[in-house]
Amino acid sequence: MERDRLIDRKVYPVVPPMVEYSLTPVGRLFIEPLEMLYAWAAKNDDALSKLRRRRKKHTASTDKARKVQ
């Protein structure tokens, strides 16, 4: 992300080592869409929970089938 200029990294010459990260102006452009995604996830928590349970159940049954083989 530093190479893509989304964050700035400042290294301080101290012991113990200290590094500070901050968003660049371009990096700050990501805040709004991330906040929108977070708000959507919070609003749809019930549906997402159902998907997680279904995926967990599917993964468990797939793992059982692999052990049988």
pTM beyond 0.85, yes or no: no
For 18, which DSSP code? E
> What's the pLDDT score for residue 47?
92
> What's the pLDDT score for residue 42?
94
> What's the pLDDT score for residue 69?
65
> What's the pLDDT score for residue 62?
74
pLDDT tens string, the chain, 69 residues long: the values are 999 999 999 999 999 999 999 999 999 999 999 999 999 999 999 999 999 899 888 887 777 677 766
Phi-psi region of 5 (alpha: psi -120 to 50; beta: other; left: phi over 0): left
Distance of CA 13 to the CA centre of its chain: 30
Distance of CA 53 to the CA centre of its chain: 20
- Domain residue spans of the chain: 7-68
Q: Are 32 and 48 in contact (CB under 8 A)?
A: no
